[in-house]
Structure 1
Amino acid sequence: MAEGSHAYNSVWQARSDAWSQLDEAADRLIRQTTTGELKDRYVGICGELLETINAFEPYWAYPGPAQFARVQRAFAAGNYDRFGRTVSRINRALTTESYRSGDVDAAGRDELDMFPADPRQLEDLTANERERPYFEVLVVAQMTEAQEAALRNEVRGWRRPDDEFVYELVVVGSGDEALVAARLNPNLQAVVVRRRFSHQSVRDLSALSEFVDPALSDELGGHVSPDERAQILATWLTRLRPELDLYLMTEINVESVAGQLGQYFRRVFHAREGVLELHLSILYGVAERYRTPFFSALKQYSHRPTGVFHALPISQGKSIVNSHWIKDMIGFYGLDVFMAETSATCGGLDSLLEPTGPLREAQQLAAKAYGSRHTYFVTNGTSTANKIVTQSLVAPGDIVLLDRNCHQSHHYGMMMAGANVVYLEAYPLTDYTMYGAVPLREIKSKLLALKHAGKLDRVKMMSLTNCTFDGIVYDVERVMEECLAIKPDLVFLWDEAWFAFARFHPVYRNRTAMASARALRDRLEDPAYRAAYEAELQTVPEDATDEDLLNRRLRPDPARARVRVYATQSTHKTLTALRQGSMIHVHDQDFDQKVSEAFHEAYMGHTSTSPNYQILASLDLGRRQVALEGVELVQRQIENAMQLRDAIDNHPLLRTYMRCLSTADLIPEQFRPSRIDQPLRSGLRDMTKVWQDDEFVLDPSRITLSIGRTGYDGDTFKREQLMDRYGVQINKTSRNTVLFMTNIGTTRSSVAFLVEVLVSIAQNLRDTVADMSIGELGRFEKAVYRLTERAVPLPDFSGFHAVFRDGSGAEPTPEGDVRRAFYLSYDDTNCEYLTGDEVLEKLDAGTDVVSATFVTPYPPGFPVLVPGQVFSRGILQFLRDLDTPEIHGYTPDAGFRVYTDKAIEQASTTRLTHVTSNGRAELSGEDVLSGLA
């Protein structure tokens, strides 16, 4: 595809646009006024578009090879009237997606041949039959046109009016085309592989070269048996689209083949016997993913008459329907919402705290969809999910490595668990007053320092945010791999609050916690890895320094490493769920033996005994949606983001005042060995390479817009321009940027609206600047200079005061007791308020000033001080330069809440006694009596 068309994700849109353009060109072609050179011109345009579409069409069931061949024949024969009518009909069906229900123009029904065995039966379809969900099945087999037509007719012949779904076939003859179809066609839900297929297509796939992987053709084209070839293809398809149901049809030794290849396929059938059973299995496999146990139970419950004699007067709307004053509540929300309200855990429903029925099934289905071993629903957000995981894993005195710029819930979780926290520093992006992600070198250096201090046995967990708010994504598998080489039983908590959608994109998926955990465990169990590890071990010198270890890729010992991974996700933020609907995903080898009881207690401690069943039902439905159409939704989300980037960067006026930041802007070159500055615009191969090799990558669905040249700071631009004037909602800003995020609900129309808004803002700004006086223009240019040229240096984390640090160990380490520092402030006599100038005076006098609270400026939204941390001149200067009116933990009238010198002096007399037998920390009696811990 052409340069700049972002081929890695735009084929669907290119196909859709090509059909629309063909419809428009065909309409112009058949007009009576189109003659001579003009007619020749449109004939040429139609020919080029047909050639473009011809590359795509074999991989979709509609309009299908027979219908598209008729289009081509009509055009080649010069029958432009028929050509134009047919193209118009197809384009309308594609645009409205009416082909899914067979609801197409009557005039074309004899040609479309979609659902029933006899096309004339389309007129007899019931409303229920028209509403049946539609999907497509890929068949990989070498077939003649006659054999393909016979197979389609045979499959259609098995259809019944009461089938829950309806599907059509896409037939390809080679393994490379099977991979292309799986990449391009989101309608696919199942793949049927027959033993006889070619390793390489006879078609010209040059137009789709971005989607052809030569490595697959090489594997399939070697000296392998048909059974091995089927296994190779199944492995590639599973890696690409794990949600697809795979079936194998074989002509010989079906029993033997089932024993050998059954693990790669859902079912194995004999070719001469299994078409009906295959048909039923395909429907059943999709029905498994379509099933929503809890939503269905709740819906059924809502239809039962009940008598409520305990709690929840709103149950089944009873306190509303007879009210004289709040009946508008039903008018606004609808009756069904209240009919499904209950606090009961019986009658077909279930308990969130002890699920044994439909809720348990719903969570099991979610675990399968998200690739975890266990999944738990959370009804009060990922803030609570983070605290549940932390409390179940961390005990007082345990050391935890934590990204300093993480969500506030992690800081509070550390405080509640009594962890000793080692804060990790992310790389700074000074020009935009934000931080990126934590380099692996930083993580390894902290672990090695703790090892030298003799504290590695106390290190329990590391928590990182993937991806960050600004879209920086870690190489999750590599981070865990190298950390396990130093600390083999380290537990990982990945905060994926904004990354739940990533599971459902083949490129994103490999950088998610659950996919990485499974890949890492599979690799550690591979005998080939063990041999490679033993060989590499011989190359590491006995006297290797920390610098040597920091500069080389570390490999964990497969005999000692344990894969223990947790991910928390805000389903409601990036997928379909009601607000506060979140999930905890677990892939922990030691969960059942070491964590399950503590996890259950933490879950009980943080979860309401009266959870909102509407939230739970929405999580069940959201899982169904992504299990069946997640690939399509996420691809469109990315495509919309790319359309937005192009619309901004290519608009002459918008370019004057705004710019979309690129990967090179947000990820320094030392973290990008690929050296590709714009992978988002470089095609599938480059993007795949970047996502395989680079330490950090940028999520394409997030657009950080630099707006410094407008003269507005980020917060003002958000409030006064976007929200107040145009109703455009965004969340994240920095000193000179705003963040736009596309999601699975974003449409092309909403992207167009945002572009209109930005153009309107730019036009108003242009007109305003043109009318400025000399003085006003000077002030405007000064504001622009301040936002674009004068960067605000980001402060380093100053560290905990010595009184909150553990002085034990062979070498000093930076971990601090956040809980002790936090609760010391509960006695007001331990605290005082100081202005910024007063803090500076004490620092100049050589006195430490210790924060009693979290101090978090908005924007950018990360804490620059946590309880127990020492003030520094850099931190104070940063807060002054930032010039933001909203700083949590700072009172304009009083100043910063800090500990008095006396409180620090008294706290220094307390101590922590570490129990070396279990690595835990216990408070001494002096601590308890003083009430300071």
Structure 2
Amino acid sequence: MNTSVGGIRRLGMRALLVDDEIAQETATGRAVRTLSAELAQRDIDVLTATSADDAIMLIRSDPSIQCVLLDWDLGVDGHGPSEAVVDAIRHRNGNVPIFLLADRSVASTVPSAVMGQVDDFVWLLEDTADFIGGRIHAAIERYRATVLPPMFGALAKFSRVYEYSWHTPGHTGGTGFLKSPVGRAFFEYFGEALFRSDLSISVGELGSLLDHSGPIGESERYAARVFGAHRTYHVTNGSSTSNRIILMASVSRDQIALCDRNCHKSAEHAMTMSGAIPTYLVPTRNRYGIIGPIASERLTQAAVREAIASNPLTAGLADRQPKHAIVTNSTYDGLCYNVARVEELLGASVDRLHFDEAWYGYARFNPIYRDRHAMHGDPRDHRADRPTVFATQSTHKLLTALSQASYIHVRDGRNPIPHGQFNETFMMHASTSPNYAIIASNDVAAAMMDGPGGAALTHESIEEAVAFRQMIARMNAEFGAKGDWFFECWQPDTVLETRTGRTLPFHDAPPELLASDPSCWVLRPGAQWHGFGNIEDGYCMLDPIKVSIVTPGVAPAGGLMPVGIPASAVTAYLDARGIVVEKTTDFTILFLFSIGITKGKWGSLVSALCDFKRDYDANLPLDMAIPSLVKEHGSRYAGMGLKDLADTMFAAMEQLGTTRLMSEAFSILPKPEMSPVRAYEHLVQGRVEQVTLEELAGRTVATGVVPYPPGIPLLMPGENAGPAGGPVLGYLKALEAYDRRFPGFAHDTHGVEVEDGTYRVYCLTA
């Protein structure tokens, strides 16, 4: 339901009328129909429901409802159905106006709990439809005025003001595109609203991203409240830039920064740009190659001192006190730290803690993640003697902002960076011509999480993920009971039901327990399912919405089984059916249950996994199972079946030792010959050359080498590649050999250029 104003679509008015007498020939029924007609005359679209269940379904499925008119005498069982509708509304939306349709004689009997949640009464048989309609129209207008957050509201308002502009951008609200055929096609594809909101910094009504004024500054203060920060910054070119801003504002040349080796490449870039000396904190790894947390014992003050002392790059530094620490939370695979514990441990060594939460912006809004995100708890309780804490969040990843939208959140503690000082670095990375739609989408992402809406949306995601996980676990158990195979989820095998004290198989646990009790997801010391050994109890939790499907092939104690199915074969099969996964490792496939997931969407995934099993067992010809593979690489895969492909790939992985070598390569720290910035200077000055893997032994790399997955730097700029028979080169050679054997399944390794199947890496010449 949209209306068009000046060519720009606007959300129209919509009300939900809940009354079980609407179709009846009673005085109340006739009054309800008259009111509905009156609202229609006022251009208010009216949805109707005759039962509490119907109303609740509409409330859950239609967020465009801007007013609810609810019969207080709904149903025949007292006022319980009406109270259930009120609860359902307020569970999702704390502000939408609710009018109770009631008789004056019963108004005094409405419980105080309900009175506190509704906005007004309607006396259907006493007031005129015109009078009631006017009150409803006014309530909707007031609600609509409060729905839009600061910056988006100002942007939407300004875009409706028709003025001649003599400033940038040159398309002037889109009219410039209308002067050529291709421009008109572009205009019609995106629509006028986008171009009317693509404005210049010259538009003072919207404020400035650079000096955080006007509606943009108000929006940042609003986001800080919503996300629990002391202050928040909009960033319009991704969390990669957010990470660079923080590190460059915090660390300067030849100062020590502690860096999670499981870091995004933007942390590497930030080390290079700032000139910092990285000392790496190495995370754990399990039998599947899934990256775990940095063990708590590696974050103690003594362990940090030892890591700095053993780093060759710190030799000769007068100041060996780390200035900054960056930790990835949650990990790509969904492992979340107890941040309060990390603060306690790392806070003994460093004043500034920086959590890269690019994939984790929703955590504050559901109690299952309590204390496991950077902005945990009440910001007013963050004392000046605690570390200063930064968080970066990609609001476009698992919230609802546009691509490149990001937030920086800050809580000031020890050695804070004042806003004015921090903003100098911010302005180095910000454009004087930011995309206002990106800023507005950040604003909207915050507004969607504000109040009960955030809890409702995140809980629904968790519920869907739990339902999917339990279905896969149940199917795995059923097939296993018949001696057959099926996929499984990487998750606890059993769950303790705290109410009864019983230990239940995961698929038999109450879904609401799994969706609400974080203890169901905590990594317990020595539990075989997670594979991270004697981890500190409570230190790490698996995020329910990040679901890793495990394919057969890895033994519970580690090592390969006699038969296996490489995950990349499954991913290719799914891709041929229009299902695109987030990440694929040797034997795991990652799926993200964001707030856009529906039962139909994951139901299709379950069906596709069942189809794969059927077609694998039948060895369906590849030209039917994965047609594009045979079309593009017919000479390699002609005549093969799906099982043939999986068996051949698994045999190659076993022969080349890819899984074993990956574990060995990532379990060591290569020797750093120079800092990242020194290596980069060699690159800029042209004192580098590309060499093959056969020539790489003992050489110092000029750029990072990062295999995806897992996305962790194998080599950082300035590090030595090690001996020819060492684990680093052994792993890269195994990947190179595998890629040559299986065209269409090549690995994506940043920092490696492939020419005719040969890996080449930039190294220093002298």
Length-normalised TM-score, structure 1: 0.59
Q: Who is 2:391 aligned against?
A: 567
Q: 1:134 to 1:450 in 2, by over 3 A?
A: same
The one of 288, 294, 297 equivalent to 1:438 is: 294
Q: AA paired with 1:706?
A: V
The Cα shift of 1:304 comes to 1.4
Partner of 1:869: 719
In structure 2, relative to structure 1, the CA distance for the partners of 1:357 and 1:773 (3 Å cut) is closer
CA distance in 2, matches of 1:702, 1:600: 34
2:53 alignment partner in structure 1: 91
Aligned to 2:689, what secondary structure does the other structure show?
strand
Secondary structure of 2:390's match?
A: strand
Q: CA 1:741–1:796 in 2, change beyond 3 Å: closer, same or farther?
A: closer
Deviation at 1:318, TM superposition (A): 1.3
CA RMSD of aligned residues (A): 4.4
Paired with 2:521 and 2:463, the residues of 1 have a C-alpha distance of 18
Shift of 1:899: 4.0
When structure 1 is superposed on structure 2, of 391-400 and 447-456 the one drifting more is 447-456
Q: Structure 1: which 5+ runs fail to align?
A: 1-61, 65-85, 120-130, 138-143, 168-282, 526-560, 666-674, 805-816, 841-847, 904-933
Task: Tell me the residue number matched to 1:762.
Answer: 613
User: Aligned partners of 1:332, 1:410: CA distance in 2, in Å?
Assistant: 37
User: What are the residue-to-residue correspondences of 1:502-513 with 2, within 5 Å?
Assistant: 502-513=363-374
Deviation of 1:450 (Å): 6.1
With over 3 angstroms needed to count, the CA separation of the structure-2 counterparts of 1:164 and 1:350, relative to structure 1, is farther
SS of corresponding position for 1:704: strand
State the match for 1:625 in structure 2: 448
> After the TM superposition, which residues 716-731 of structure 1 pair with which residues of structure 2 at under 5 Å, given as runs?
716-718=569-571, 720-723=572-575, 725-731=576-582
**Partner residue in 2 for 1:557:** none
| TM-fit CA distance, 1:510 | 1.8
CA contact (8 A) 2:395 2:407 kept: yes
Offset at residue 94 of structure 1 (A): 2.3
- 1:316 partner SS: coil
Q: Is the CA contact (8 Å cut-off) linking 1:708 and 1:784 kept in structure 2?
A: no
Count of aligned pairs: 614
Q: 1:371 aligns with which of 210, 217, 228?
A: 228
Change (3 A) 1:865 1:366: same
Partner of 2:352: 491
C-alpha displacement of 1:145: 12
For 1:895 and 1:502, the matched residues in 2 are separated by 40
> Is the Cα–Cα contact under 8 Å of residues 736 and 788 in structure 1 kept in the other structure?
no
Q: Does 1:521 align with 2:382?
A: yes
**Separation (CA, whole Å) in 2 of partners of 1:819 and 1:435:** 27
The reply to whether residue 703 of structure 1 matches residue 564 of structure 2 is no
**2: CA distance between counterparts of 1:412 and 1:641?**
34
Aligned-partner Cα distance in 2 for 1:774–1:566: 52
Please identify, of 769-778 and 498-507, the stretch whose mean Cα deviation from structure 2 is larger: 769-778
Q: Distance in 1 between matches of 2:157 and 2:356?
A: 35
Q: 1:337 to 1:850 in 2, by over 3 A?
A: same
Post-superposition shift, 1:778? 7.4
**Which deviations, in whole Å up to 9, do the C-alpha atoms of 1:648-677 show, x marking residues without a partner?**
222356972411111479xxxxxxxxx999
CA change 1:634–1:334 in 2 (3 A) is same
Specify the SS of the correspondent of 1:515. coil
Confirm whether residue 822 of structure 1 aligns to residue 680 of structure 2: yes
Does the 8 Å contact 2:566/2:650 carry over to 1?
Answer: no
For 1:156 and 1:798, the matched residues in 2 are separated by: 63
Of 465, 488, 506, which residue of structure 1 is paired with 2:328?
465
Q: Give the 3-state SS of the residue equivalent to 1:897 in structure 2.
A: strand
**What per-residue deviation string (whole Å, max 9, x for no partner) do you get for residues 454-502 of structure 1?**
97753101101100110011111111112223x2x52111000000011
User: Residue 714 of structure 1 is aligned with which of 554, 561, 567?
Assistant: 567
* Superposed displacement of residue 447, structure 1: 1.7
Q: How far did residue 782 of structure 1 move?
A: 5.7
Asked whether the 8 Å contact 2:672–2:720 carries over to 1, the reply is no
Residue 348 to residue 827, structure 1, CA distance change in 2 (3 Å): closer
Tell me the CA shift for residue 860 of structure 1: 2.6
Q: Deviations over 1:680-728 (max 9, x none)?
A: 957368634865951111000011111245965334433x2222x1222
Identity score, percent: 27
- 1:784 Cα offset (Å): 4.4
Shift of 1:780: 4.8
Is the 2:691–2:763 Cα contact (8 Å) retained in structure 1? no
State the one-letter code of the partner of 2:441.
S
The letter for the 2-side match of 1:661 is W
- Structure 2 CA distance for partners of 1:690 and 1:735, relative to 1, 3 Å: closer
User: Given that residues 365 and 449 in structure 2 are in contact (C-alpha distance below 8 angstroms), is that contact kept between their aligned partners in structure 1?
Assistant: yes
| Cα distance in 2 between the residues matched to 1:677 and 1:110 | 41
1 CA distance for matches of 2:155 and 2:581? 34
Q: 1:466 to 1:519 in 2, by over 3 A?
A: farther
1:749 positional shift: 1.5
Return the offset for 1:425.
0.8
Q: Which amino acid aligns with 1:856?
A: V
Q: Contact conserved, 1:708 with 1:787, CA < 8 A, in 2?
A: no
Query: Aligned pair in 2 of structure 1 residues 324, 475: CA closer, same or farther (>3 Å)?
Result: same
Query: Do the aligned partners of 1:517 and 1:565 also contact (CA within 8 Å) in 2?
Result: no
Query: Post-superposition shift, 1:731?
Result: 2.3
Q: Which position in structure 2 is the counterpart of 1:576?
A: 400
Q: Which residue of 2 aligns with 1:134?
A: 96
- Taking structure 1 as reference, are residues 304 and 441 closer, same or farther at Cα in structure 2, changes over 3 Å only? same
Are residues 1:656 and 2:508 paired? no
In the TM superposition, residue 147 of structure 1 has moved relative to its aligned partner by 4.9
Amino acid corresponding to residue 748 of structure 1 in structure 2 = K
Shift of 1:630: 0.5
- Residue 768 of structure 1 deviates from its aligned partner by 1.6
Q: Is structure 2 residue 742 aligned with structure 1 residue 897?
A: no
1:352-378 CA-partner distances (Å, limit 9, x unpaired): 001221111111111000000001011
From the two aligned structures, give the one with the greater helix fraction. 1
1:70-81 correspondence to structure 2 within 5 Å: none
TM-score, L = length of structure 2: 0.71
Task: Show CA shifts across 1:298-348 (max 9, x none).
Answer: 111111122222321223221124444432333322221112221144352
Runs of at least 5 residues in structure 2 that lack an aligned partner in the other structure: 1-16, 20-47, 86-92, 100-105, 123-131, 310-314, 495-502, 524-536, 554-562, 623-637, 740-745
